Amino acid sequence: NAGVTQTPKFQVLKTGQSMTLQCAQDMNHNSMYWYRQDPGMGLRLIYYSASEGTTDKGEVPNGYNVSRLNKREFSLRLESAAPSQTSVYFCASSMAGQGYEQYFGPGTRLTVT
Amino acid sequence: AQSVTQLGSHVSVSEGALVLLRCNYSSSVPPYLFWYVQYPNQGLQLLLKYTSAATLVKGINGFEAEFKKSETSFHLTKPSAHMSDAAEYFCAVSAGGGYQKVTFGIGTKLQVIP
């Protein structure tokens, strides 16, 4: 099993450009998540999908949109990138319900100039 | 509401010394607690988790953590540090809600000095 995969690994954007970060999991998990990681701030939840067909905002959703394409795939879109969105983005997945750990992808390092 | 406080953003220990990384949580309901480790340029991996089965939880790589309700703590320990333990460690809490919302601490970077 590949676990959680993310593409691309690195990306540089100019302010105002758009892009989509892709995430896929092969563990048959119901729930998927997008986080951003910034120095000194830990991980902050951007959006999550508790199950296929549902998405909800997390702690820092502004400037982002998501699509739960099917049970395996959960994409994150930046419509008009800003320098404040320079960060490392992680996708994660888990079984539905309480007490289940999350499995993380390797991350996408995004720089917006 | 739930929150996690990790005391010390950087901790240095000598190789072979005790590792102690501190985590305190706040939760209005019985929590699930996790420790994750992140090696450079990688995603987070689960070290161990507390789900109320036992207060002393053993994880991978010789780490363990003890849930102390009276102190609202879930500190991570390892008796003898190894160079390969150098990484960033995140404490996390999940305490109810319609989905598994997890709140992460800001992380503690562990440096192991030879």
User: What is the pLDDT at residue B99?
Assistant: 57
Query: Residue A88 and residue A96: Cα distance in Å, rounded?
Result: 25
pLDDT in tens, A74-89: 999 999 999 999 999 9
Mean pLDDT of chain A: 94
For chain A, positions 18-57, list CB contacts with chain B under 8 A.
31, 40-45, 48, 50, 56
Q: What angle do CA A84, A64, B5 make, to 5 degrees?
A: 65
Q: Using a CB–CB cutoff of 8 Å, tell me whether A89 touches chain B.
A: no
B94/A105 touch (CB, cutoff 8 Å), yes or no = no
Mean pLDDT calculated for residue range A16-27:
97
Nearest CB partner across the interface for B46, out of A44, A96, A101: A101
Confidence band (pLDDT; 50, 70, 90) for A1?
confident
Mean pLDDT calculated for residue range A83-96:
94
Mean pLDDT calculated for residue range A80-100:
91
Query: Residue A19 and residue A110: Cα distance in Å, rounded?
Result: 10
Mean pLDDT calculated for residue range A38-65:
92
User: What is the pLDDT at residue B97?
Assistant: 56
User: What is the pLDDT at residue A10?
Assistant: 96
A/B interface, count of CB pairs below 8 Å? 59
Query: Residue A41 and residue A39: Cα distance in Å, rounded?
Result: 6
pLDDT in tens, B91-107: 999 876 555 678 899 99
B100/A104 touch (CB, cutoff 8 Å), yes or no = no
User: What is the pLDDT at residue B96?
Assistant: 63
User: What is the pLDDT at residue B73?
Assistant: 95
Q: Using a CB–CB cutoff of 8 Å, tell me whether B101 touches chain A.
A: yes
Give chain B positions within 8 Å (CB) of A31.
Answer: 99-100
Query: Residue B46 and residue B49: Cα distance in Å, rounded?
Result: 8
Low-confidence spans in chain B with pLDDT less than 50 = none
Nearest CB partner across the interface for B51, out of A45, A56, A99: A99
Confidence band (pLDDT; 50, 70, 90) for A19?
very high
A31/B99 touch (CB, cutoff 8 Å), yes or no = yes
Higher pLDDT pick, A96 / A5: A5
Query: What are the CA-CA distances from residue B70 to residues A52, B25, B55, B62, B73 (Å)?
Result: 39, 11, 12, 25, 8
A108–chain B nearest CA distance, Å: 10
